[in-house]
Structure 1
Amino acid sequence: MSAGVHTLDLNFQGTPGVIAVSVFDTGDGLAVVDPGPGSTLATLKAGLNALGAGLADVRHVLLTHIHFDHAGAAGTLLTQVPAARAYVHERGAAHLTRPERLVASATQIYGDQMDRLWGAMTPVAPDRLLPLSGGETLRLGNRDVQVHYTPGHAVHHVSYHAGDDLFLGDVGGIRLDADQTPRAPTPPPDINLSAWRDSLDRLEQLPARTLHLTHFGAYPNTPAHWAGLRTTMTVDAQRILTGLDAGQDPEALTAAFTGDLMRDLHAEHPDLPARYEFACPPWMSVQGLIRYWRREAARGEQR
C-alpha cells in the first residue's frame, strides 16, 4: 500500500460518491477513519484489498462520531480484527459498548429498512475502545494524530489532524462535488449552530492542506470552503426560522426547504440535487433545525 491518505468509496446502497472512508498507513498497521455502516463492510474489505492490504491490517479505527453511516461497522470490524482498537469521544463511547438504545432510536425512523440500510451494529468491547475528550495527541505507529473536540453536528463529534490531513466527519459539511458549496447536515437530536461555528473557527486555523469529508471525498483546504459552509449554514437555518415564525407546520417547512435547497444545488451542478438528497435527506435536516430553534426559543424564555 502506497503512502498518503486513500479515499475509499463505500458505494452505499449501490450509489457512488455518498460515503467515503479515509485510510492511511501508520507504520503500525492501517488507520481507518469512520469505517461506515455495517451494511458496507464487505465493500470496505474490497477497497482495502485493491490497495494491496486487508481488513487484518487495520489497527486503529478513528471515529469522528457514532452515527450509523460513520461508525456502524466498528464493532463488527473489531470482532474480526482482534489486534485493532477504536477511538471515540467519551460521550459516544457508552453507545458503542451498549448500542441497544441507539439502534432502537434509529429503528423508530427507518423501521424495517434498518438492516438493508445500515446492517448490524455489534457492541464494542470496552477494553478495545479509547474514550477521547479532545486535546489529545495519539501516537499511532510513526504518526502523530491530534484530536480536536468539534461539536455542532453532534455533541460527541471529534476531528483528527494528522500532518497535512484534516479528517472532519460531518462538521466540515457535505460536499459531493468540487463545484458544490459545502452545506451543514443538521439531523436531530443535538444540532448546535453556535457550537458548530466555534468548531469551524478552530478547525480553519489548523495547518492542514487537505480536508477529508465523509460525504464525500478530499478537497484542498481553502478559505472558500469554510466561508461557503458558514454562509449556507446561516441560509438554511434562517429558512427554517422564518417558516417557524410564519406558523408553518413541519410538512410545509420540509416542502419549502427542500425546494429551495434543490434549486441552490441545481444552480451549482444539475446532477447535485438527486445525489445530495440521497446523501443527506432534507427532511432530516429540517427536523434537526426545528428542534434547534425550538430549544433556543425555550432558552430565551427561561432567561
Structure 2
Amino acid sequence: MTKTLSALAAASVIWTAPALAQPADPLTRPIQPAYAARWLAPQAPARVFGNTYYVGFGGLSLALIDTGAGLMLVDGGVPQGVAQVEANIRKLGFRVQDIRYILSTESHWDHSSGIAALARGSGAMAIASASGAEALRLGRSDPEDPQAEDLERFPAVGRVRAVRDGETIRLGNATVRAVMTPGHSPGSTSWTWKSCEAGQCRNVVFAASLNPISSDHFHYTRHPRRGDLTTGFRAGMRKLAALPCDVLITAHPDHSGFDAKLKAAEAGRAPNPFVDPGACRAYSAKYEALLDKRIAGEKSEK
C-alpha cells in the first residue's frame, strides 16, 4: 500500500460524521432550573396510608392514588422533574401508563408545568377548577393571579376538564372531592378522599397553597376589578380547617411539616407519622395569621 493510500485508510478509521443535534423536548425543557432546584431534592417514594402514596420531592409534593382501576396523580411538578416522578411511580410497582387523571391544585408553574409531559406519557386527563383549567389549556397562569407579574409560562395541556366546588371524581374504589380554596391563586383547589388499610379508613387532604404572597404591586384588600379578596381567601382557609382530615399533604411539604413526617416515616417511626387529625386546622391557622399580617400591612400603606 502506498503512503497516500495508507494515509487515506488511517483517516477513514478516525473520521466520524458530526453528531446531529437532537431537538429539545418542549414538554420537558427546564423552567428556571436554578430557582426550581430548591424544591427538587430527591425524595424516596413512600406509602402514606392505604392506597395513597407520595411520589414528589423534598420541597414539592405530588401524590398518587391507586384506585384498583387505574391511578390518579395529584399535581405535576416541573418539567425537569417529570423523569424523577415517573421513576418514583415505577419504584412503587405502578405503571405511568395507568394514570387516568391528573388533579391540579393551582396553575402556578411549580405545580402545573410538568402536567403536559406526564399526560403525554400516560394519556391522562387533567382536572382543575374552571380558572385553573383555562390556565392549563393556555399554558399560563390566570392574569388575575396575585403573582401574575412573576409567573412563568408553561407547556399547555391538551385534555383538561373543569370541576366545580364539591364535585367528585370517581375511579375504581376511589372518590375524590374538589374543595375550592381560592386566594393563593384564583382557582386554587384542594382535594380530599378516603384511604383504607387493615380495616381502618382515614380522610386524606391534599391542600393547595394558602400562602398570601404576591407580586410587588398586588393588593388583596383593594384589587382594581374585584375589590377586597380577603373575605374569599379567609373563607377557603376555614373551609379547609373544617374538613375531616386525618392525613394532610400540602403542595409544598415544608408548609405543614409534612417534610418532617416523611423523614420520620423513612426512619420507621410508629405509629404512622402521617396520621395527624389536627394538621388541617394547624395549617389553616398558620396561614390565616399570615393573611392577617398581610392585611394589616396593606392598610398601613394607605
TM over 0.5, yes or no?
Answer: yes
Q: What secondary structure does 1:48 align onto?
A: helix
Give 1:237 deviation, angstroms.
4.4
Tell me the residue number matched to 2:163: 132
In the TM superposition, 1:117-266 aligns within 5 A as 121-125=154-158, 128-163=159-194, 164-171=203-210, 184-188=211-215, 192-216=229-253, 217=258, 219-223=274-278, 226-227=281-282, 229-231=284-286, 233-235=288-290, 237-238=292-293, 241-242=296-297, 245=300
1:130 partner SS: strand
C-alpha deviation, 1:7, in angstroms: 1.2
User: Any conservation in 2 of the 1:150–1:158 contact (CA below 8 Å)?
Assistant: yes
Q: Bigger CA drift: 25-34 or 217-226?
A: 217-226
Q: Note if contact 1:89-1:158 (Cα within 8 Å) is conserved in structure 2.
A: yes
Query: Closer, same or farther in 2 for the Cα pair 1:77/1:239, shift >3 Å?
Result: closer
Decide whether aligned partners of structure 1 residues 205 and 130 sit closer, same or farther in structure 2, where only a CA change above 3 A counts: same
C-alpha contact 1:26 1:143 (8 A) present in aligned 2: yes
Tell me, what secondary structure is at the counterpart of 1:18? Answer: coil
Answer 1 or 2: which has greater helix percent. 1
SS at match of 2:55: strand
Aligned equivalent of 2:82: 41
Q: For the Cα contact (< 8 Å) 1:35–1:73, is it kept in 2?
A: yes
Q: Between Structure 1 and Structure 2, whose CA radius of gyration is higher?
A: 2
Is 2:122 aligned against 1:81?
A: yes
Question: For residue 167 of structure 1, what is the amino acid of its counterpart?
Answer: F
Please state how far the C-alpha of 1:243 moved relative to its aligned partner. 8.0
Question: What is the correspondence of 1:269-280 to structure 2 with a 5 Å cutoff?
Answer: none
Find out whether 1:91 has 2:134 as its counterpart.
Answer: no
Deviation at 1:94, TM superposition (A): 1.8
1:101, CA displacement in angstroms? Answer: 6.9
* AA matched with 1:94: E
Q: In angstroms, what is the RMSD of aligned CA positions? A: 3.1
Separation of aligned partners in 2, 1:51 and 1:90? 32
C-alpha distance in structure 2 between counterparts of 1:56 and 1:97, whole Å:
22
Write out the 4+ residue segments of structure 1 that deviate beyond 6 Å after TM superposition: 105-108
Provide, for residues 122-172 of structure 1, a one-character-per-residue CA deviation record: whole Å limited to 9, x for no partner: 2212xx21101212121122211111111121110111111111111213x
Q: Aligned partner of 1:214: which letter?
A: A
Aligned equivalents of 1:199, 1:101: Cα separation in 2: 20
Q: Deviations over 1:13-32 (max 9, x none)?
A: xxxx2101111101221111
Any idea what the Cα deviations from partners look like across 1:51-72, whole Å, max 9, x if unmatched?
A: 1123212111011111111111
Counterpart Cα distance in 2 of 1:153 and 1:93: 16
Greater CA drift, 55-64 or 92-101 = 92-101
Q: 1:144 to 1:108 in 2, by over 3 A?
A: closer
Give 1:99's aligned amino acid.
G
| Residues 142 and 65 (structure 1), Cα distance of their counterparts in 2 relative to 1, 3 Å cut | same
Partner SS, residue 20 of structure 1:
coil
Cα deviation for residue 73 of structure 1 reads 0.8
Q: Which consecutive unaligned segments of at least 5 residues does structure 2 have? A: 1-45, 195-202, 221-228, 262-273
**How has the CA–CA distance of structure 1 residues 240 and 33 changed in structure 2, closer, same or farther, with 3 Å as cutoff?**
same
**8 Å contact 2:237–2:284 — kept in the other structure?**
no
| In structure 1, C-alpha distance between the alignment counterparts of 2:76 and 2:141, rounded to whole Å | 21
Please give the TM-score of this superposition, normalised by the length of structure 2.
Answer: 0.62
Unaligned runs of 5+ in 1: 11-16, 115-119, 172-183, 248-296, 298-303
Residues 175, 193 of structure 2: 8 Å contact kept: yes
TM-score normalised per structure 1: 0.62
For 1:185 and 1:227, how far apart are their aligned partners in 2?
16
Q: Distance in 1 between matches of 2:298 and 2:219?
A: 20
Paired with 1:190 and 1:50, the residues of 2 have a C-alpha distance of: 44
- C-alpha distance in 2 between matches for 1:95 and 1:4: 30
